[in-house]
Every structure is written in structure tokens, then in C-alpha cells.
């Protein structure tokens, strides 16, 4: 299967089956992540593999506390939009997925976020290739989650990838066509 | 070839052969990019395909002006480090590569940078798969490059991918092992 096939087939999962996944899958996903390019080759990524119910519960609680703060500050219109999308401060997949990969960034590395997200995208495709699914959850208050995991100053949780077999019936959301998002030579050129 | 194989084989190219590449390669690369997941499915990516020598020259000049500003502000120690790495404000690959894909971001989309970089990483792997090479160049002053391309307010050049056949003999830089960058259950856990 080509990258295009995988990318096309792949859709985000927010619900997971309560079935364990193989350690060799996680190993392969991290082996892929570490190969990503990064600014000045600083490789500003660190990963925490979380499987224990206790730590998943801690992470979920700290994440949900951050989400409640975020939702409380939404305008009434945005709140309606979030509700319509079925989004809420509740993050059950953080305890349901058999494995979480927490991506931690070294904030001292130049341009560290782009590097982290390239490695995350590598993982997203490797996860799909192995028949598994994920969502790249970005905590509204990464400080709370970092504290729950004992992440020291100078590093910060960037994203959490719950990984498992998808139990999410939702269709893939539609995408713009290439012709709708591409210009030639300059903006508005064609 | 698996994602892991591709990711492992892949290395950044900063020099390109002066040979054209096929339009169908560019089409496939963009078809892959558009399939990326994004925050609230906003798909905050727009792409400008640049092939004309005139526009490549404009882009290179605006990019190099930004780099000179960046280099002038480096501390003497950092300047030594950059020189040792062979880095300089000169960006010849922006005129040598047969095609540039300029990635423009809608800065009004929530969390737009992570989304852009996932789509960029998808492209990086699709480029590798097609036997081509790239470097994800991030301009030090994206405003200058955005102006050169006529990008309107509210949008901003995030990265430029020069794409072509690699003419870069440099070995892939080493990576940390998974065991060196991974913890179990919590920071410093194993």
C-alpha cells in the first residue's frame, strides 16, 4: 500500500475497543517516530508509553481539568459549535485505549513544535499501517498533564496518542480537493 | 516498503540535480497532503507550486534577506556552530530544485501549525516513496516570503519544500535509539 493509499484510508478514531495491542506494534511505531527529521537534528521528542489503568486515570483527570477550563472560556456561539460536533471536556479514550503514547517536547530546541509534529505524523501513518487507530489529542492545558507525568521544567507534553483498535463508526471527514487549495507560481495564480 | 522502511531510508537533501520532475509526482504528493488530519478538520493548508525561474528567484531573495537578519542576530558562539554545520544565509536550493511547494497556513484556524506539519510530514514520506528528496525549509522571516508570493493577511508561509532528485552526498544524521528517548508510565520510568 502506498503512502497515498494509507493516508486516504486513514481516519481518526476517538473510540477504541477494550482489546490489548502488541508490544511489537508500539516498538515499530516508536522506531518510525525516531527517524523523523528535526530542526538542527535536535530530535526534541521524548515518549512516555502508558499502559497502567492508574496512570491513564491520572492523565485523563488532568487533561479533563484543562478541557473544563477551556470550555468555560468559550463564547456561547463556540460552545454551540462544540456541542454540535459532539465535543466535550470528557476524554474517555484516554482510559479506554490500551496504550497511550505521550509525546513530550524539549522546548529549548529551536522550532521544536514542527519537529514534534513531523514525528507524530510518522506515527499516525505507522499506526494505520498496523491496523490500529489513534487521535492526536492536544491538551488544552499541557502543564497539568506534564505535572501528572512528572515531566520536568523545560519539557512539555505536546500531544497524547491513544492507540488501539478503532471502535469509532464515524466516517472520515471530507477534505478539500487539491484544486481548491493549490495555486500556481503565486497566491491566486493558476 | 513499510512506513518504517521509508522513514529509515529517508534523508534530507539540500542539493538537487537540475533535472525536471513529473507533474504526476507533484499531484500525488499534494493528494497525500490533503488527506492529513487537522484540528476541527479546518485543513488550514494551502499550497503554491512554483516552477518558474523568476518566482524561485524572488522567493530565494526574500528568504535570504530573512536569513541574513537572523544570522546577524546570532551570538558569536552560535555563529561558529552554524558555520561548522555548513549553514549560511545562502539558500541555493530554492532556485536549483525543479519545483518548490510553498506551504501556506491559515493562521485563524485553531492550532494551525500542528495540522500544517502533519500534512508536511505526509508529503515528506510521499516524496521519498517516489524516489525524490526534499528539505522542510522554515524561513526565518516568513513575512518577507509571504509578501513575495502575494499571500494575503491572515495567512502566512510556514515552510518551503524544494523537491527534486537528490544531489546531496551527506549521510543521514544519526538518531537517538528508542530506548534513549522513551519512558514507561511516567517521566524517568522504565
Q: Is A155 within the bounds of a domain?
A: yes
* Residue B82: per-residue pLDDT: 83
Q: Is A125 within the bounds of a domain?
A: yes
Model confidence over A46-104: pLDDT tens digits? 999 999 999 999 999 999 999 999 999 999 998 888 888 778 899 999 999 999 999 99
Compute the Cα dihedral for B139, B144, B149, B153 and give only its sign: positive
* Residue B88: per-residue pLDDT: 87
Q: Is B38 within the bounds of a domain?
A: no
* Residue A83: per-residue pLDDT: 86
Model confidence over A90-101: pLDDT tens digits? 999 999 999 999
CB-CB: which of B12, B40, B49 is closest to A37? B12
Q: What is the Cα gyration radius of chain A? A: 18
The pLDDT mean for chain A works out to: 96
CB contact under 8 A, A35 and B8: yes
Residue A85: C-alpha distances to residues A63, A136, A173, B41, B153 (Å): 19, 17, 12, 11, 29
CB contact under 8 A, A4 and B35: yes
Q: Is B150 within the bounds of a domain?
A: yes
Most distant CA pair in chain B: distance in Å?
55
The pLDDT mean for chain B works out to: 96
Overall domain count for chain A: 1
Q: Which residues form the domain of B137?
A: 51-166
* Residue A190: per-residue pLDDT: 64
CB contact under 8 A, B117 and A114: yes
Q: Is A62 within the bounds of a domain?
A: yes
Q: Between A16 and A80, where is the model more confident?
A: A16
- The answer to whether residue A169 scores a pLDDT higher than 80 is yes
* Residue A107: per-residue pLDDT: 97
Residues from chain B contacting residue A52 (CB–CB below 8 Å): 185
CB contact under 8 A, B138 and A114: yes
CB pairs under 8 A between A and B: 193
- Residues above pLDDT 70, as percent of chain B: 99
Question: Shortest CA distance to A187 belongs to which of B153, B39, B118?
Answer: B153
Q: State the nearest Cα–Cα gap between B14 and chain A, in angstroms.
A: 13
For the domain that residue A144 is a member of, what is the CATH number?
3.40.109.10
Q: Which of A66-80, A99-113, B47-61, B74-88 has the lowest mean pLDDT?
A: B74-88
- The answer to whether residue B190 scores a pLDDT higher than 90 is no
Q: State the nearest Cα–Cα gap between B1 and chain A, in angstroms.
A: 8
Q: Is A103 within the bounds of a domain?
A: yes
Q: Is B17 within the bounds of a domain?
A: no
Residues from chain B contacting residue A111 (CB–CB below 8 Å): 138
CB contact under 8 A, B3 and A125: yes
Q: Is B172 within the bounds of a domain?
A: no
Amino acid at each position: 500500500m502506498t503512502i497515498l493509499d494509507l493516508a486516504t484510508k486513514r481516519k481518526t478514531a476517538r473510540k477504541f475497543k477494550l482489546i490489548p495491542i502488541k508490544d511489537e506494534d508500539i516498538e515499530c511505531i516508536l522506531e518510525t517516530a525516531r527517524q523523523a527529521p528535526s530542526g538542527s537534528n535536535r530530535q526534541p521528542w521524548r515518549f512516555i508509553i502508558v499502559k497502567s489503568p492508574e496512570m491513564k486515570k491520572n492523565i485523563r483527570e488532568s487533561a479533563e481539568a484543562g478541557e473544563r477550563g477551556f470550555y468555560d472560556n468559550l463564547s456561547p456561539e463556540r460552545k454551540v459549535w462544540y456541542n454540535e460536533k459532539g465535543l466535550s471536556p470528557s476524554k474517555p479514550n484516554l482510559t479506554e485505549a490500551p496504550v497511550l503514547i505521550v509525546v513530550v517536547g524539549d522546548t529549548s530546541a529551536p522550532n521544536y513544535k514542527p519537529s514534534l509534529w513531523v514525528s507524530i505524523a510518522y506515527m499516525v501513518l505507522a499506526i494505520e499501517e498496523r491496523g490500529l487507530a489513534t487521535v492526536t489529542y492536544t491538551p488544552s492545558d499541557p502543564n497539568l498533564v506534564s505535572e501528572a507525568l512528572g515531566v520536568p521544567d523545560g519539557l512539555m507534553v505536546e500531544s497524547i496518542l491513544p492507540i488501539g483498535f478503532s471502535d469509532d463508526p464515524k466516517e472520515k471527514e471530507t477534505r478539500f480537493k487539491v484544486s481548491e487549495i493549490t495555486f500556481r507560481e503565486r497566491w491566486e495564480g493558476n
